[in-house]
Chains A and B, each alone.
Chain A
Amino acid sequence: MFAYLVRRLFLMLVTLFGISVVIFFLLRIVPGNIVDILFAAAGYVDPADKADLEKQLGIDQPLVAQYLHWIGGLLRGDFGYSYVSEKPALQEILPRIPITARLAGLALLFSASIGIPLGVISAVKQGTKLDYALRVVSLSGLSLPSFWLGLLILTASVAMFGQMPIFNPNPQTWLEAFATYAVPAAAVGFRSAALTMRITRSSMLEVLRQDYIRTARAKGASDAAVNYHHALKNAILPVITVIGIEAAFLIGGLIVTETVFNIPGVARFLVEAIRWRDYPIVQNLVMFIAVVVVFANFTVDMLYAVFDPRIRYTD
């Protein structure tokens, strides 16, 4: 087990190194840099001023030197400065992580707490009206774009209650704090719950046809015991995989929801940083997301062993 962990850790480091190279060079392939954008906005360019600013920001250096400067800084804990705000990159990035983490956490909670039970019910009641209704709901969840759903929620809130659940940075009560995240989390979680539900359903249908389930029923086990104790335990592995992937996606992929609900999270910040070609912010933020994805995958792999005793990671 220890050797396996060391190997995984080494692979994770190699992956992160590869990602750092890809991020860095892809970002430079995209035409234009911060200086182009600043001068484009002004509709004015004095080549000398432009060169001065490029020198000041270090983007006149050869690419390899720039890469080594960045990686060297990362290893020393120096994340550089934002080109736009001129504040330390870490100071800009850190406050946004808890916001997105809360939103993603709530969305996952919504997804799991709705998607798994409904998936089980849909499988157990296969071919019934309830199953059809739940499948329609899950298909809707997958089909409706979250920006549309978000805008619909906002418009309906204003029309029906004269209120609007957009982000409140200083909630006065826990209810306000909950409302700040709950509505957008539901908008995102709806799609995620639909996916979870479909995976749970198909996995359950496969397991429910296994011999040991028939044996359990023959031995007189209750429906609840068969469905939730015997079947779900074995059907949950693909669901965990999906939830793991969703968790990683939600950290960096909430751009639409963060924009519609005006949440100052990681994804919206990342898109703005890309728009400005704010390299220090983009590089460090994407690296952070990469770390989350890599660790989420690692956690999912570890959870397999917890949920399925047949799986053991050996040396």
Chain B
Amino acid sequence: MRSVWALAAMAALSVLTASTATLAGEPKQGGILRMYHRDSPANASILEGATYSINVPFMGVFNNLVIYDQHIAQNSPDTLRPELAESWSWSSDNKKLTFKLRQGVKWHDGKPFTSADVKCTFDLLMGKSQQKLRQNPRKTWYSEVNDVTTSGDVEVSFDLKRPQPSLLAMLASGYTPIYPCHVSPADMRTHPIGTGPFKFVEFKANESIKLTRNPDYWKKGLPHLDGVEYTIITNRSTAILAFVAGKFDMTFPTHITIPLLKDVKSQAPNAVCVVEPTNVSTNIIVNSTSAPFDNIDIRRAMSLALDRKAFVDILFEGQADIGGTMLPPPQGIWGMPRDKLETIPGYGRDVNANREQARKLMQKAGYGPDKHLAVKVSTRNLAEYRDPAVILIDQLKSIYIDGELDVVETANWFPKVARKDYMLGLNLTGNSVDDPDQSFYENYSCGSERNYTNYCNKEIEKLFDVQSQETDASKRKPLVWDIDKKLQEDVARPIIFHARAGTCWQPYVKGVTIMSNSSYNGFRYEDVWLDK
């Protein structure tokens, strides 16, 4: 009976949605979408970037082979859509992925798009081409790709060393645009050429980024906008005030913290605001190569001392998520369900009992009320790092650990972590696609550059490969949950919380969808329009 009511409610909702869409009317052509940008990106080359500060403004310049549906908030294998590829197919052994490419697509400089451009892009990413990217932060994504081969101008195949169904997810990321063969990586950093709905006009560092409509876009009738203009405003207060004053149609995506969102809503009550997970986890990196954290008891005690709900309440007024490595459901596809999560030590709801257990472990390691352990908690000199670090220090006091905040400038953060010149660190880890392959291999596999803690467990690495090759998502999920649980139990990199943030736009801005399990994939903006 309950399911009947649920179906009825869904049907009513669908009718309502449909009627709302009708009322909203047909998209209008024209107008410039004005947004502010939170900082000045280093360059315009998405392939070389490791921040969504590059994706947001420049994703509209490009197309991918495939893309996540830009109007469905949750990225999943079901929301993959063809873009420069018209279709794709897997070989029977799942080791060859072949794309049939769209014909008649032109680069912004008028040259035709062909399969050679796809090959060039992935040769560049795999480090096989003569030309080199200045930085190539996602080279590991393609570690299972043997080669990319073309067959004529409209077919391209990825030959894999073993089945890896998640390759499609990575190809759909905003981080994987197709670059033209005939433009050098250096030129792509300063004047990107794409096939996308918007053409690059100019990028003035610390000032503005301008894109204009591509009149020859291969999707007829799109984009609706004449252009998109980003004004770079690094001061958050100024930026938000400017949005409130109507100088901007939209804030920078997921730039509004939960406490600030109230201010925006009170000053601009008509603004449309949404809060979504950013798929960025705040976690602790532990230097387990030297004392005292080479002692697993102390690492476990620290993990047990965490009151995750307190972090979420203080920093996000209750609006953030507690989970393991993978973003928790319902927005996350692969996160552990609540009941499984709570079986992990430290995740139980009784914080006092957890801490009692932690104190026993500390006493076993030789510490107690009369002998505290002094540690430095290192973190980057940014508010989103510092604030949770301060709370962490406070919570560690309950288990005889006296923490001292060690604030490190961004330029020195990674070298310091790489040198293992820290005891405890508070770190943020962003996931560009909600897929275990990206997260597990990047952060937890032996020898990975981003495995800051050098956690290395050959057994679990075998499990990474097992889940990675599983083509049936329903079978893959339990495998992923077991791995995630094990990673938390091993205190590999204790996850404190998964952040959420807000985005606002003026009511006349239509067609914007903020992705709920990635901050990197939803900025094509080809069918955003202004109802003015």
Contacts and interface: CB of A to CB of B under 8 A. Distances in A.
B94 interface: no
B132 A39 contact: no
A262 B204 CA distance: 13
A147 B241 CA distance: 15
Interface in B250-307: 267
Nearest to A32: B411
Interface stretch (A107-115, A130-138, A189-197, A268-276): A268-276
A272 B411 contact: no
A44 B246 contact: no
Contacts of A85: 43, 190, 205
A154 B413 contact: no
B238 A262 contact: yes
A206 B139 CA distance: 73
A39 B412 CA distance: 11
Interface in A195-252: none
Contact of B244 (A38, A56, A158, A276): A158
B450 A262 contact: no
A99 to B, nearest CB: 10
A259 B242 contact: no
Contact of B205 (A92, A169, A259): A92
Interface string A24-43: 00000001110011111111
Given A86-B186, A169-B208, A276-B42, A40 B414 contact: yes
Interface in B110-137: 132, 134-137
Contact of B409 (A32, A42, A86): A32
B189 interface: yes
A125 B234 CA distance: 45
Interface stretch (A5-13, A159-167, A171-179, A297-305): A159-167
Nearest to A46: B449
B135 A262 contact: no
A46 to B, nearest CB: 7
A261 interface: yes
A149 to B, nearest CB: 13
Contacts of A33: 411
Given A272-B206, A277-B411, A261 B238 contact: yes
A14 interface: no
Contact of A87 (B190, B232, B410): B190
Contact of A151 (B204, B237, B411, B415): B237
A154 B241 CA distance: 8
A173 B323 CA distance: 55
A45 B411 contact: no
Interface in B180-208: 186, 189-190, 204-208
B205 A39 contact: no
A56 B189 CA distance: 16
Contacts of B205: 82, 84-85, 92, 269, 272
B398 interface: no
A49 B469 CA distance: 30
A155 B411 contact: no
A166 B409 contact: no
Contact of A264 (B204, B238, B411, B414): B204
A121 B186 CA distance: 61
B414 A39 contact: yes
Contact of B411 (A31, A46, A154, A261): A31
A40 B137 CA distance: 10
Interface residues of A, number: 45
A39 B135 contact: yes
Contact of A158 (B231, B235, B245): B245
Contacts of A164: 241-242, 245, 247
A308 interface: no
A40 B134 contact: no
B235 A40 contact: no
B407 interface: no
A44 B137 contact: yes
B134 A53 contact: yes
B144 to A, nearest CB: 18
Contacts of A44: 50, 135, 137, 449-450
B207 A84 contact: no
Contacts, number: 119
Contact of B206 (A37, A40, A49, A268): A268
B51 interface: yes
B396 interface: no
A96 to B, nearest CB: 9
B344 interface: no
B79 interface: no
Nearest to A99: B207
Contacts of A39: 135, 414
Interface in B223-249: 231-235, 237-238, 241-242, 244-247
Contacts of A43: 50, 137, 414, 449-450
Nearest to B247: A164
B76 interface: no
Contacts of B42: 38, 41, 84, 276
A46 B205 CA distance: 27
Contacts of B357: none
Nearest to B189: A86
B51 A41 contact: yes
A32 B380 CA distance: 14
Greatest chain A CB density within 10 A among B42, B43, B134, B411 is at B411
A52 interface: yes
B135 A42 contact: yes
A289 to B, nearest CB: 17
Nearest to B207: A264
A264 B245 contact: no
B40 interface: yes
B383 to A, nearest CB: 16
A49 B136 CA distance: 9
A264 B43 contact: no
Nearest to A37: B411
B414 A45 contact: yes
A232 to B, nearest CB: 40
Contacts of A264: 204, 206-207
Interface of A: 31-33, 36-46, 49, 52-53, 56, 82, 84-87, 92, 151, 154-155, 157-158, 162-164, 166, 169, 259-262, 264, 268-269, 272, 275-277
28 contacts: A31-B409, A32-B415, A38-B135, A40-B411, A40-B415, A41-B42, A44-B135, A44-B450, A45-B418, A56-B134, A85-B205, A151-B238, A154-B238, A155-B241, A166-B233, A166-B238, A166-B242, A259-B235, A259-B238, A262-B231, A262-B232, A262-B233, A262-B238, A268-B206, A268-B234, A269-B205, A269-B206, A272-B40
Q: Which 9 pairs of residues, A with B, have the shortest CB-CB distance?
A: A32-B411, A40-B414, A42-B50, A42-B137, A164-B245, A264-B207, A44-B137, A158-B245, A44-B449
Given A154-B241, A164-B245, 8 more contacts: A31-B415, A38-B134, A45-B418, A46-B139, A84-B205, A154-B238, A163-B245, A169-B207
